[in-house]
Amino acid sequence: MNNLLNSYFVKTHKLEISITIIAVVLFLIYFLGAPHVFTRFPIYRAFMQSMPFFGIIAISATFVVTLGEIDLSFPSIVGITSLIFGIIMTSTDGNFFIAFILATSLGMFAGLVNGLLVTKIGIPSIVATIGTLFFWRGLVNVISQGSGIAIVDVADGTWHHMIFVEKLFGKIPMQFIWFIVLTGLMQWVYRYHKFGNHIHFVGDNKASAQMMGINVDNVKIIAFVQLGFFSALAGIFTMYEMLYFWPTQGEGLMLTTLAAVFVGGTSVFGGKGTIFGTFIGVLIIGSLESGIVALGLSGFYVKFINGLMITVAVTVYALIQRRKN
């Protein structure tokens, strides 16, 4: 046992192991407390259906958080890109390619604006992205004049609807498959690509990274741009699931998404993080609401327990970090 605890893998993956244990315990509680719900498939299908919408953004946001930065504007980027997607789909009689390219380009543009404000103008990201949070949502309201857009006529039953949100073998929602694939891909980039490597160095110590020849500004800008892209993508997934755009789309995403990243163990101080941890964080945060209700507690407990989870998790990580130093 002692050997196991001292092994290289355990030593280097303390965070991942802690978060996995927390998730297993949580699901055990669900399982024992509400066996009638958690021994059946539908609850898992519901999870697989709903988690990817914020999960995809959480994975992508892990890059920005590892930089020691934050982006609060992504809920509004989801809003504006979904709106554009809806407008183009309906006005081109369902031209998926044009709608997809324009919506994701707009997402990347919004990310670029954030990146430039942070690096070239020098506004702290928490402030800059509060500005763009209001800006893009405001633009959504102005353009949509408060009304929604139905894309059911141009999207339902199409091949793109099928590959985005229909059920594989009639059981597994496609968005979950995409979510798993993207998580794997992003984990690979995060740990084994030059870009991911630079993210870690810039987040760890900006001045050192600069002296080692890393272009700090470019790394930050690209991080915000990819988050813009994935926010747009998450918006498109949501559009296909709901077949409808509504002007507040994306607004509920902020806290769950960032909570998943922090519960997942990515350091608020930058320089350290894990995509796997964020993935588990998504499973935890995404299951809390249904889990709590299934356990027989009233819905009023959801936020309370959510808050408890986040506070306990970040405290544990801070303590692990402190012991290391």
Partner 1 sequence: MAEELLKLQNIYKNFGNVKVLKDVNIKINKGEVVALIGDNGAGKSTLIKVITGVHSPNSGKVFFKEKEVQIKSVAQSRKMGIEAVYQERALCDQQELYRNIFAGREITNSFGFLDIKKQRKEAEKILRDYIGFTSKAITVDSQVMGLSGGEKQGVAFGRSLYFNSDLIVLDEPTMGLSIQETEKVLNFVKGLKNENKSAIFIDHNIIHVYGAADRFIILDRGEVVGEFNKEDISREELVQKMIQLHESGKIKVED
Q: Summarize as ranges the residues that interact with partner 1 (CB under 8 A).
A: 8, 12, 188, 192-195, 197-198, 200-201, 204-205, 207-215, 271-272, 324-325
- Strands, DSSP E only, in 72-166? 149-150
Residue 118 has what DSSP assignment? Answer: I
Residue 317 Cβ, how far from partner 1 at the closest point, in Å?
13
Residue 209 Cβ, how far from partner 1 at the closest point, in Å?
7
Residue 197 Cβ, how far from partner 1 at the closest point, in Å?
6
Contact predicate 115/220, CB 8 Å:
yes
Whole-angstrom distance, CA of residue 111 vs CA of residue 118: 11
Residue 170 has what DSSP assignment? Answer: T
Contact predicate 82/90, CB 8 Å:
no
Backbone angles phi, psi at 71, to 5 degrees: -130, 115
Residue 200 or 220 with smaller CB distance to partner 1: 200
Residue 112 or 189 with smaller CB distance to partner 1: 189
Tell me the longest C-alpha to C-alpha distance in the chain. 65
Residue 67 Cβ, how far from partner 1 at the closest point, in Å?
13
Give the distance from CA 142 to its chain's centroid.
27
CA atoms within 13 A on the CB side of 94: 14
Residue 188 Cβ, how far from partner 1 at the closest point, in Å?
8
Angle between helices 74-91 and 216-242 (to 10 degrees): 50
- Please report, for residues 38, 85, 126, 160, 246, the alpha-carbon distance to residue 93 in angstroms, rounded to integers and kept in the order given: 42, 12, 39, 14, 19
Residue 208 Cβ, how far from partner 1 at the closest point, in Å?
5
